[in-house]
Structure 1
Amino acid sequence: MAQAYKGILGDYKRKKEEEVRVRGRVADRADEGGFGIKDSTYSKRAERKLYVNTRQQLFGYRARTRDMFKRSFKEKGMIKMSTYLVTYRVGDIVDIKANAAQQKGMPHKYYQGRTGVVYNVTPSAVGVIVKKPVGNRYIEKRVNLRIEHVKHSKSRQEFLERVKVNSVKSKEAKEKGVKVSLKRIPTLPREARTVAAAGAPPQTIVPVPYETTI
């Protein structure tokens, strides 16, 4: 710890000495009258290089992932053999879920739980394209993961089932000569109804007054 502190302190001193030398050269050029656009640009770049962050990296690549990468309930231990029998093809939609039992080919913590498209397949891994929002745009990130850390996504399963149902409805409506709406309808409010009060007169319910047994 002491050696690391001395190393950081030495770097800081060297940066300060370089800063003093650069500022001295800039001041000399200004006194000589040769402080043009090119010189000022050079001086700004030189000063900008001085303020480099010399702090240590305080956390690791997989830091703060104790809960993120933990195994599910009753799924600890060796990886099931069925994991290696799944077939992945280019264009498949997959969900990224890291399996902590296999440390090779794990995704970065940013990609945990995200969905992507397979663009490359190898004997033990797949390449996945994930769209990452950066500012006001999306960047396609290509991530290589072992097959233990991916699984087929069910995001399109409901859509494909609805396509089949709509195809049947459309065919039946065409045979009957009627129009049918294939749009999804949200849950509607309950319809109005009448409550029979015969033999059950309405009662007014009020809270029971406070009573003490002491």
Structure 2
Amino acid sequence: MTRMSNGTRSGSRSKLTKKIKQRGMPKVNSLLKKFEIGETVAVVIEPAIQKGMPFHNFQGRTGKITGMQGSCYILKIKIGNTERKIISAPVHLKRLPQ
């Protein structure tokens, strides 16, 4: 009998798959994005870059940037009545209009 995998990317085939025309590495500008503390951002995971990737359940969520940790950003995301702290690289974040 086979056992189901319990890795960090299990159950995320459709979430972490790009469309055919967007496949490949992202542009350099998306790797060098800068954000200010207090900005509102959305988590849009870039599957080609695994470094600094948040867990796939946070795909599409929005939150505020509260700080930095190395080259990554710390986000506060509210899910229900709880606040979660997420650490994510800038390539996985998208700026939202204020």
TM range (shorter): 0.7 to 0.9
Q: 2:74, 2:93 → 1: CA distance? A: 10
From 43, 57, 72, the equivalent of 1:96 is 43
Residue in 2 aligned with 1:78?
Answer: 25
User: Which of 1 and 2 has greater Rg?
Assistant: 1
Change (3 A) 1:92 1:73: farther
Report if the CA contact (8 A) 1:93-1:116 is conserved: yes
Change (3 A) 1:94 1:64: same
Change (3 A) 1:116 1:73: farther
Higher relative contact order (CA 8 A, sep 6+): 2
Gaps of 5+ in 2: none
Per-residue deviation at 1:113?
Answer: 0.5
Q: 1:84, 1:131 → 2: CA distance? A: 26
Residue in 2 aligned with 1:113?
Answer: 60
Gaps of 5+ in 1: 2-55, 157-214
Q: Report 1:1-214 matches (<5 A).
A: 59-133=6-80, 138-154=81-97, 156=98
Report if the CA contact (8 A) 2:31-2:91 is conserved: yes
Residue identity (%): 28
Q: 1:60, 1:81 → 2: CA distance? A: 29
**Greater fraction helix:** 1
**Greater fraction strand:** 2
Report if the CA contact (8 A) 1:89-1:121 is conserved: no
Per-residue deviation at 1:151?
Answer: 1.1
Per-residue deviation at 1:90?
Answer: 0.4
Report if the CA contact (8 A) 2:32-2:90 is conserved: no
Per-residue deviation at 1:73?
Answer: 4.4
One-letter amino acid matched to 2:90: I
Paired residues in the alignment total 97
Per-residue deviation at 1:123?
Answer: 5.0
Structure 1 stretches (4+) deviating beyond 4 angstroms? none
SS in 1 for 2:64: strand
Report if the CA contact (8 A) 1:90-1:118 is conserved: yes
One-letter amino acid matched to 1:82: N
- The root-mean-square deviation of aligned C-alpha atoms, in Å, is 2.0
SS in 2 for 1:106: coil
